[in-house]
Structure 1
């Protein structure tokens, strides 16, 4: 079976690029012919199996449908998987006559452009399946778009052999693009209100992006530079897990945050805003971590302090997290993808 993924590009270090690479590699290992179609050129940030074929489409927006159609006619994929629901105006006509899956990676209530809602409607009408990352987004698609072809397949743990963190350092870790979505401005405001930062605890934000300067300025304005550091995004996120004892997430919205899943797989207790989709599907409140009402900075500070001050609570959350995260194993997730692909081919 020949499967094509269509993605903006693989040159960035985000969750979409990581999980696409991992799923493609694992399907290739299992005998599928895999191609990845990139709309932008750039060396893949994450390693790809040698058998995975990369196809770059010329950077001409007016000719994208034509160029994609030409590629599909030549390569004859059995199924095409679209990364994201916001390009249906391109993807649907280009793949006419080929079974397709729209893989939604964001909250269905969040629109990336003025016509995104219409793009989702087209995906529901013309794709054989909509795959969301959370059950809440399945419900969103049913409610908003009357979808009958939507299922949930969560993201898998993408790091093999991940061991529990020793949690020996007084460090809270946050990871993500330095962008408004991730809410690091609110995390810094919350950190400034914590008591435990004065008792040797530090906050490390790992990420790169356009908001670096304004976050650095905020750190200075809040007078917390002695306990906060921002380090660039890295491929070696595992070492960051191993240097942390707690993980924090302050996002305004998410799809299904891969970094939370993998933080739990490293045994890190988590404090997170309960934004519309994602964290509540990963975290069992007061069992594997703590869910805080969205954008509630005072409560975020309070719960961070509670975890930092209570080693026994952290130990309990860590042990529970390691058991809970098994449902996100790559073997469990790839089995769901294979069942879906066979179902579509056999329809």
Structure 2
């Protein structure tokens, strides 16, 4: 029997004061849950709790600052003891906060709480959200002092993480492809991220511009995209590639553009707030990532009516794109094929426009009202299971 009173949900996240995908998605979902479902939402943070959230939150959403500040810089000789002192403090303060709030659900972002969340004294149902694919979470996540230790410690940590996830009532991942990678677990539900905006303008796919968006880091594969564009530019001299982003590889990528003689046709643009307007002025979106957790930029581009050419990397593109229907999937790392498929859409106006229209139709399943229903159904199902015990 599902309860009639409004659900009380607690989110645990390190900080709301930073510009991150997890923070943006949390804000979108939490605001919708309050406004449309009448849920009572609380957010517990460990760091930067005195700084206002970057993304707008409904006035009724309460923020609770545990004031742990893991990221506060301390001398190296104190770092080990400081970290474990903060973990003990974190566990004690989180337990007290949850006992006071007594939520129906506590939702984690797979951070430090995971190792002790099932030891909390409250009776809430625990859900963990994974915003990365398995490989990047278990191998590339920066967890405190672990990078100081040898590989066998990492392997032990990975096993502990799996055991912690087995104890959680439900583990939510973003894609069916990622679900298959967590073969040890039988408590998984797939719920993708929602669209982050509803664009005012759509692309007519008739400009001579290709667009890519993302951080200038190795994961995004912009070095591969520039190599592909080098194969395209001489044949299609009236077309331009614009890559919106920033990051530690900007200088390296700019040098690659110059060395390839692409300064006139390939532009490294800084991030803009209204990225939807840039999508609308383009005709093709390209994702050249080596791996993704979901590929939210694909969904954003499709919502603006753009066909997508994407590496078939883990995880996300295969779940989002219907190959040769609303986009084109290319074997990850195959630069020549990436160039060939971008050129194909450049050269075939009608196919490009048809794919863009189908992309706009197919992406509607990611609207927040549809994603929120999946979450509501999960909440109700878990409450039913709990009440039947």
TM-score of the aligned structures, taking structure 2 as reference length? 0.82
Aligned with residue 46 of structure 1, among 20, 35, 55: 55
Q: Structure 1 pair 40/233, CA: closer, same or farther in 2 (3 Å)?
A: farther
Measure the CA separation in 1 of the matches of 2:65 and 2:235. Answer: 48
Deviation at 1:287, TM superposition (A): 0.8
Per the alignment, residue 329 of structure 1 pairs with: 367
- Tell me the equivalent position of 2:264: 226
1:123 to partner: Cα distance:
3.8
| Mapped pair 1:89 → 2:129 | no
Q: Name structure 2 gaps, 5 residues minimum.
A: 1-6, 71-85, 142-153
Q: Distance in 2 between matches of 1:72 and 1:276?
A: 36
Do the aligned residues in 1 keep the contact of 2:173 with 2:188 (CA within 8 Å)? yes
Change (3 A) 1:43 1:250: farther
Q: Does the CA contact (< 8 Å) of 1:124 and 1:130 recur in 2? A: yes
> Matches of 2:23 and 2:231 in 1, distance apart?
35
Corresponding position: 1:80 with 2:106: yes
Aligned to 1:128: 169
In 2, Cα distance between equivalents of 1:157 and 1:196: 36
Contact 1:11–1:43 under 8 Å retained in 2: yes
Shift of the alpha carbon at 1:161?
5.0
Question: Per-residue displacement from partner, 1:209-249 (whole Å, max 9, x unpaired)?
Answer: 22222222222222211112222223322112112111000
Looking at structure 1, the residues matched to 258 and 250 of structure 2 have their Cα atoms a distance apart, in angstroms, of 13
Greater Cα shift, 156-165 or 276-285: 156-165
> Are the aligned partners of 2:172 and 2:189 in contact in 1 as well (CA < 8 Å)?
yes
Give me the CA root mean square deviation: 2.1
Give the number of the structure whose alpha-carbon radius of gyration is greater. 2
Structure 1 residues not aligned, in runs of 5+: none
The verdict on how the C-alpha distance between 1:195 and 1:207 changes in structure 2, with shifts beyond 3 A counting, is closer
Distance 1:93 1:205, change over 3 A: farther
Aligned equivalent of 2:241: 203
Distance (whole Å) between structure 1 residues aligned to residue 94 and residue 349 of structure 2: 55
1:152 paired to 2:205 = no
Larger mean CA deviation between 271-280 and 232-241 belongs to 232-241
TM-score (norm 1): 0.92
Partner of residue 67 from structure 1, selected from 63, 81, 93: 93
Correspondence for 1:102: 128
- The alignment of Structure 1 onto Structure 2 pairs a total of residues equal to 344
* C-alpha distance 87-193 of structure 1, shift in aligned 2 (>3 A): farther
CA contact under 8 A between 2:205 and 2:352: conserved in structure 1?
Answer: no
Distance 1:95 1:275, change over 3 A: farther
* 3-state SS of 1:109 partner: helix
